[in-house]
Amino acid sequence: MEDQTKTIDELLECYPEKPEYLIFLLQDVQSAYGYISPESMQAVSDHAGVPVTQAYSVATFYQSFRLEPKGEHELRVCLGTACHLKGGQRIVEALERKLNINAGETTEDMMYTLDTVNCVGACALAPVMLVDENYETNMTAMKIGKILKKIKTK
């Protein structure tokens, strides 16, 4: 915890102690740690001079902020129009069953985080799932086991 506090202090030093820097501070903390812990949120709100409730309001308003750590591997299923029409929701449901989590959650072993996204810009290859930064196209529920097995062997 000592190292994290030092790094947070270093991040805070980059900005004046003013409320208008709140979002920048939150972005930097998330960039450094992958999420914003309660301790980090308190440090940021203290530095920016805003109530911690206001900092949480900002962090929960923007979908790009995470308040919980994410897994080692991020699985993002596209639910844009083309992916939705071609079975994207079925892919999400199959992953939820296989991983025993809901979309937006992380497995207990911190191996996988499952999320949905509105569009990944690969409509012609729908349905699409991103595994970390790799596109898995023309997805089916049958492909899920093979993909998860491939991740584990890396």
Q: What would the 3-class secondary structure string for 40-55 be?
A: HHHHHHHHHCCCHHHH
Q: What is the mean predicted confidence (pLDDT) over 147-154? A: 86
Packing angle, helices 22-33 and 38-48, rounded to 10: 150
Read off the pTM: 0.74
Per residue in 17-51, pLDDT (tens digit) is: 999 999 999 999 998 988 999 999 999 999 999 99
Q: What is the pLDDT of residue 50?
A: 97
What confidence tier does 64 reach under pLDDT thresholds 50, 70, 90? Answer: confident
Two structure tokens written together for 39: 């301790």
Q: Which residue ranges make up each domain of the chain?
A: 2-61, 73-152
Q: Name the CATH superfamily for 73-152.
A: Glutaredoxin (3.40.30.10)
Length of the chain: 154
